Chain A
Amino acid sequence: MKRASLLLLILILCLTAACGEKEQPADRLTEILDRGYITVATEPYFAPQEFIDPSKEGDEQYVGADIELAKLIADKLGVECRIVPLDFTTVLSSVTEGKYDLAISALAYKPDRAENMNLSDPYYVSEDEEDNGYTFVTRTEDADAVSDPSDLSDMTVVVQQGSLQQYIWEQSGASCREVKYVSSTNDAFLMVSEGKADAVITAVGFARLYIEANKDSGLTLNETYRFEVDEQVQGTVMGMKKGEDALLKRINEIIAEVVESGVYVEWMNEYRAYAAGLGLM
């Protein structure tokens, strides 16, 4: 066993040494411009920002407002846009790890995210009252009894791990019997439908799409209560590897133009209708 651990040690040393040798040259922005394409990581399960149109093939199948934005950024940089679909947690880790250039995945500003990556200026702050903000979804039979988070004290709350919703729930100061974590909010809705949990903390717009597609899910969106969200975390941002300040600066310039033109809001409306048309109904 002693020799085995020695071998393991050597193996690890070799690997880390090899990793170290291949350090990326210069800064990321120059590298992107040199190689002629930008890699954008996204979790395509979040309509209308990013989702899959199953009738299309290859990169074409990824559609949504964020995808349009990614293409626009690539255009402005004069490079090709390559979408990399990944699980949400992998989106974050692949960008902090430096494997891909940019994370555009309806990311919200969170303090712990800001510590681990460069976050851009917000490119979208929802103004649409109807679909704005964060609330919770319960089973229809509980809906009358639960009007705000203080009523959740003896219930099981489910939330997407590492998401803004989790942060909002923790900041709200409300208590519950138990918090359960899932990797996708879709699973959270299902857990409540099936009685495995009692309430999902979710973005309003996303919940509305889910409930419309699942008429017999027995879920009801709370139409009156909205969680308080600090101004800092309200916007949707992009993530980059920590320390890539030249890239961040260029991205922020492009975002400033996008925000000015208001085109992102148009995309949101366009893709909301698009996403609703994909279901079975």
Chain B
Amino acid sequence: MLAQITAIWQKYGYIYMNGVWGTLSIAACTVVAGTVLGTVLAVLRLGPFRLLQRAVDLYVWVLRGTPALLQIYFFYFFVPKALPFELSERTCILMALAVNAGAYVEEVVRAGIQAVDRGQVEAARSLGMSGLHTMTKVVLPQAVKNILPALGNEFIVMVKQASLASIFFIVEITSAFKTVQSATFITIPALMISGGLYLLLTTVLTFAVQRAEGRLRANE
């Protein structure tokens, strides 16, 4: 087994490395887009407009209630037809992953915002800060500290979720595994390598989130 793993790595290691970069770029896009989207949605959900609140509820209901794989198919096949301009396959899949991530992040951020004591908002408002100002300067910074562990969790899910892109042959670690497996017909060792790479990525990510947590805590 070990001999096979080394042999595969020596011959096809570069495919896995391309896959690692692919997964990193997909994950980076979904983490950034998903977090921004989720935060905006959470703020809207807790905002004063009833229609927007219900719209966010609907969004979370649909996207959390259906599998990510199904959503990717939907974005891949139907969304490009409904839009007047051309979308690359990669963009469709990134959109699906980000939109999916947004639903989960929304719930995490909402919980974080609601956990901030109401007195904080009242104090800020009575000092004459605007609603938006209160949210961005007072509430969100405190919320972020509380939700960082849960967000880290979501980030890890996003890294692994990128593997769903492999059914459409977007370059990432799982596609790399399939490529190597189909060239060599050797499955388990090829799978072990991709497992190791995922572990490496998520370990680095976990470590980064822990560092960020530590630094925020140091400000307490």
Interface, chain A (partner B; CB < 8 A): 3-4, 7-8, 11, 15, 18-19, 22, 44-45, 47, 51-54, 85-87, 90, 93-94, 97, 99, 186-187, 190, 209-210, 213-214, 278-280
Identify the stretch in B56-64, B111-119, B133-141, B143-151 within 8 Å (CB) of chain A at 4 or more residues. B56-64
Contacts known (A8-B58, A278-B183); A85 close to B81, Cβ less than 8 A: no
Contacts known (A4-B57, A99-B77); A51 close to B62, Cβ less than 8 A: no
Interface, chain B (partner A; CB < 8 A): 4, 7-8, 11-12, 15, 54-55, 57-58, 61-62, 77-78, 81-84, 167-169, 178-188
Tell whether, in the assembled complex, residue B187 and residue A190 are in contact, meaning their CB atoms are under 8 Å apart.
yes
24 residue pairs A–B, Cβ–Cβ below 8 Å: A3-B54, A4-B54, A4-B58, A4-B61, A7-B55, A11-B58, A18-B82, A18-B83, A22-B82, A44-B182, A45-B182, A54-B12, A54-B180, A85-B169, A87-B167, A93-B77, A99-B77, A209-B185, A213-B186, A214-B185, A279-B183, A279-B184, A279-B185, A280-B184
Closest partner residue, chain A, to B179 (CB atom) = A52
Extra A-B contacts (8), CB below 8 Å, given A7-B54, A18-B81, A52-B183? A15-B78, A90-B168, A97-B77, A186-B182, A209-B185, A213-B185, A280-B8, A280-B184
Main secondary structure of the interface of B (DSSP, over half): helix
**Which of A85, A97, A190 touches B188 (beta carbons < 8 Å)?**
A190
Closest partner residue, chain A, to B167 (CB atom) = A87
Tell whether, in the assembled complex, residue B15 and residue A54 are in contact, meaning their CB atoms are under 8 Å apart.
yes
Residues of B within 8 A of A278 (CB): 183-184
Cα distance, A210 to B181, chains bound together (Å): 10
